[in-house]
Amino acid sequence: MKNENLKKTLGLVALSLVMFMVTLDSTITNIALPTITDYYGANLTDSNWISTVYVLVMSVFIIPASKLADQFGRKRVMLIGLSLFGVGSALCALSGNLVLLIAMRVIQGLGGAIVTPVMIPLSVENFGKEKAGRAVGIIGAVTAVAAAAGPPIGGFLIRYFNWQTIFYVNVPVVIITFALITICFIESFDLTISKKIDWLGMLFLSLGLFQLTFVLVRGYDMGWMSTNILLLIAGAIISLIIFFIVELKVPEPLMEFALFKEITFSSSTVVYFICGFAVVCSSLIFNFFLQNVRGYTALNAAYIIMFMSLTVMISMPLGSKLAEKIGFRSIIFTGILLMSASLLLLTRLSMDTTRLLMIGEMMLLGFGFGFSCLSIVSAVQYIPQTKAGIGSGIVNAARQLGTCLGIALLVGLTTHQVDVAKTNIEQKAVKEVNSSSMVASLKTVLINDLQKNSSSTSKDGNELQKIIEKDMEKAMKGLEDYPKPANNEVLQKLFEGSAKMTLQFEKGNGTTGGTIFDGISGINEGSRSLASGIKGYVNLVNESLYQIIQSNPYAPELLGEYIKELESTQQTYKTAAQGQKNQMKDKMNFLTYLISIYSVGTDPDITTGEQFQRAVAEIGNSDPSSNTITAASSRLIEGAGQLAATAKEIDAQFADNGDFKAGAVNLEKGIGQAGQISEVKEVVTQIANIKNNEIVAAFTKTFLVAAFIILLSAFAGLFTDRKKRSGVISTQSDHPGINRV
């Protein structure tokens, strides 16, 4: 008994590891795409096929793989699938070029398509149908963790090792699970069907699903109305019609349509389809919002989204436990409502939504997703146990198609809404710029920058900000006049004050009245007149003295008398009392002045008044500190000249090219420039707000559409289980041939 329980536990571990590995590989490659692109020197469009081809193969081969497992042994097919997955993983890591890597991803995806639908029938075989739901709930929780753990694990491996390790890590897991499945499981078949393979059905189903999946995944990129897409749509429709016709004709069809007569199976398939659709909201749309709009790194975005999967770890086992008591119907229906509610909450996203609130929304989505994913268990509870394999294949294929529809519809809708938002941003930004108080040349530069860089959706717009700052700095250098700042009261007052001060450096008029410039000009004019008058007066006095001396025949005798008088006074000065000395000093200064001018005036070399004036000036300049009249006259003329020169210099500073006026003009210009810079920053801030609001609205509209679609599917949740009768769930199907085992 102990060995039996141990085998069951190890079997559960093996199936959990298988689903963890297969699911992990569908998300872990997304974060590695840029690195792989650079490694091979390819472009992102080509390298994106690494992820796309995996989804394509999974969608196409899940149903055929489940049928083959029912026919030829589920354990055997599981081991084949594991082998393909392991070999494909190793070859992916060893690929020497991008084409080979994509080809190896086909092998890997084929392995994943084989093992995925076999998980449920092996669980039923290992634990019995009554307890299989709990086991599937545990496996589903592990699968959810894998979906969230892909980006952080991938980021860690790429950062500390290389991108090849994201494939190499699968190899030891495959070896371990291969051994555990070999030991813990016995072979099981669907004994009600023959081993004859429906090749035609498999061919046309695969062709139809391949074309349909391709259209859903790549339709937006290639253009929905492009020739290739239209041909693929037509091919998918024709292939699926032929498939249905073939299935109605062949005795052993690939698809057992009788299963859909069981309402719980059909409804659960619809719900699981919606689960695949819903997961796109978090893994792609919300992730894109976090990275490209909010500016989060891939790892930081994953840390928020992973709370959805961590919550699934709780909600799926909890839902399974509750379903044993109250049935799946209310659990799954509640799950769909919770998913819709979480997406409705996401319609309230903004650039300021806190991390904690977003984590809460992901947790609510996780609870809803976990409850809803129990539809994979409810799908097979009323069909024969032998049909669990093909039933699981159909349900899992539905989820893959739901994911593809989600990618096609939601990614396409988001892209369209973002394009519309960019147009609105450009229009509103131009309107905002034109309504601002910026000068026309700056408006033109800013509008050009906005139009050239309108494709950006990132949050901070640092690159655009740098471009604008650089271009604005260049444009401002060419500006001469700046308008009055419009939206800054401090700058307005400073500008008004500087403008008034600048007017003081202009000639006054009737409006401004007298100005500093007028005063300085008056001082300059007066000082020049004063200097000129003093010089003229002194020259006139000297000219008069010269004429007096020249006309006096006794001038030489007077000169001798003045000299004798000065000498006599100088002798007396030495012995005179202190009070008399002051009077004698003035007398000596006057005698010195008379001797100076008479000496010059009687000099036979001085023949003109002009020569006389120069000689007198030289005598005064020879001793500037002298108190003689001659020295005083020279100092007076010199002082007046200095005053006039200084007044002229001051006047020049107030002139158009002067430092004072240039400083005042530059001050006014600087304040005006600061006002323009402030206006530019204000406009750029407003544009950033417009951009953020429009881009966020593009995503919230997508979440609203997704919430509405999921809410419409809620009715299907009401039919995922049968009513309890006297505390016992009915075990008989309403349709002949489909009875619960």
Give the domain ranges of the chain: 1-195, 199-251, 516-654
Paired with 728 in beta bridges are 725
Read off the DSSP letter of residue 724. Answer: E
In angstroms, rounded to a whole number, what is the distance separating the alpha carbons of residues 677 and 473? 9
Closest CA to 687 of 489, 347, 417, 446: 446
Of 735, 720, 738, 741, residue with least CA distance to 272: 720
Return the pLDDT at 477: 66
Class of domain 1-195: mainly alpha
> With the CA atoms of 449, 455, 457 and 459 taken in that order, what torsion angle do they form, in degrees rounded to the nearest 10?
-20
Residues 166/36, Cβ–Cβ less than 8 Å: no
Please give the pLDDT value at position 645: 66
Of the candidates 80, 61, 67, 63, which has an alpha carbon nearest to the alpha carbon of residue 190? Answer: 67
Contacts 24+ apart (CB under 8 A), 122-125: 122/11, 122/15, 122/74, 122/75, 122/78, 122/181, 122/185, 122/188, 123/12, 123/15, 124/380, 124/385, 124/388, 125/74, 125/185, 125/186, 125/188
Nearest-angstrom CA–CA distance, 525 and 584: 41
* Per-residue CA distances from 695 to 15, 285, 293, 416, 426 (Å): 42, 13, 8, 11, 12
Q: How far, CA to CA in Å, does 325 sit from each of 318, 319, 337, 719? A: 11, 10, 20, 17
Chain length of the chain: 741
Confidence (pTM): 0.68
| Start-end of H helices in 224-297 | 227-249, 263-280, 287-288
Whether the Cβ atoms of residue 637 and residue 538 lie closer than 8 Å to each other: yes
Question: How far is residue 160 from each of residues 37, 163, 297, measured CA to CA in Å?
Answer: 18, 10, 17
CA distance 572 to 592: 16
How distant is the alpha carbon of residue 518 from its chain centre?
A: 58
Point out which residues pair with 123 in neighbouring strands.
Answer: none
Helix and strand totals (H; E) in the chain: 28, 2
SS3 509: strand
Token pair 């991108």 is found at: 163
Return the exposure string of 284-303: e unless at least 16 CB atoms fall within 10 Å of the residue's CB, then b. Answer: bbbbbbbbbbbebebeebbb
**Which pLDDT score is estimated for 316?**
85
Q: Token pair 């329980």 is at which residue?
A: 5
Residues paired with 323 in a beta bridge = none
Closest by alpha carbon to 723, among 331, 329, 337, 263?
A: 329
**pLDDT, block means (10 residues), the chain with 741 residues:** 76 89 79 81 75 80 84 89 94 91 92 86 75 74 71 79 89 92 85 74 83 78 84 91 86 78 91 89 84 80 84 87 89 95 94 93 93 86 77 81 80 83 84 77 76 57 67 69 59 56 58 59 64 67 72 77 80 78 77 78 78 73 56 59 63 59 59 68 80 89 94 91 51 34 27
Question: Distance between CA atoms of 282 and 304, rounded to whole angstroms?
Answer: 10
b/e map 321-354, b = 16+ CB within 10 Å: ebbeeebbbbbbbbbbbbbbbbbbbbbebebebe
Identify any residues that bridge with 725 across adjacent strands, giving them in sequence order. Answer: 728
User: What's the distance, CA 410 to chain centroid?
Assistant: 22
Assign 728 to helix, strand or coil.
Answer: strand
Tokens of 408: 């096609």
Q: Is 729 helix (H, G, I), strand (E, B) or coil?
A: strand
Residue 35: partners with Cβ closer than 8 Å, 6 or more residues away? 158, 163
Radius of gyration for the chain, computed over Cα atoms and rounded to the nearest angstrom: 50
DSSP state of 407: I
Question: 55-72 burial by CB neighbour count: b if 16+ within 10 A, else e?
Answer: bbbbbbbbbbbbbbbbbe
Q: How far apart are CA 377 and CA 16, in angstroms?
A: 15
